[in-house]
Structure 1
């Protein structure tokens, strides 16, 4: 059951924390695209934000596997650190090239920093939601 909750935490954290921060940064002029992208994506034609949230759910399981034995402040710290690093590295160095985009977005510091920030907040959201679900 805890792994299902970790998936749900990752899914919800993507929709609330990751996308919430993205929207705030967009409104502040820091990012060109708004959050909660409803454009259909292949192969199933689901909205992009739901596809992202699904992957966020899978990453939630990975993150929880890494930090579940940490307690207190260490869990929050490692949730932010691993949350920032792991999905960002995979997105920038694996997913981008698979989609025909430059590796790490051409090493654009703004893009890399944005990925780390958004995913770090996502990781904190996962920790908070798991605590709310009484798993942490």
Structure 2
């Protein structure tokens, strides 16, 4: 049951924090695309927002299961930034310049802050 709670926490974090900051950035002209996209993504052709949220759930499940204390909070933001810039961007042939790196840093740092808040809030239930 704890793993399900951790997964759902990550799923909700992605919807609230990751996509929430994109909404704010979209209205200020920082991000060109509106979040919560329902356009199907490869390879499973499920809506983009569901795909992002599922991966968010898996990442939180793994981080909470594997790490405790301060290292959990540090890795929450940094690991996500590194994951995108080192793995996802090259696979999708996305060029990372300074402005894009700053956007990635803000998006995933916000997600990491949300992770910290949720895990501290629900610590007893994990």
The aligned counterpart of 1:110 is 99
1:88 matched to 2:81? The reply is yes
Shift in Å, 1:123:
1.7
Query: How is 1:21-100 mapped onto 2 (pairs within 5 angstroms)?
Result: 21-65=21-65, 67=67, 69-70=68-69, 74=70, 79=73, 81-99=74-92
| Structure 1 gap ranges (5+) | none
Residue of structure 2 equivalent to 1:126: 115
The runs of at least 4 consecutive aligned structure 1 residues that moved more than 2 Å come to: 1-4, 126-136
Q: Deviations over 1:78-132 (max 9, x none)?
A: 52x3222112212111122222x14xx2x31121111121112112222322344
Classify the secondary structure of the residue corresponding to 1:3.
Answer: helix
Aligned equivalents of 1:116, 1:61: Cα separation in 2: 21
- RMSD of aligned Cα (Å): 2.1
- Structure 1-normalised TM-score? 0.79
Shift in CA distance, 32/46, structure 1 to aligned 2, threshold 3 Å: same
Q: Give the total of aligned pairs.
A: 125
TM-score by length of 2: 0.84
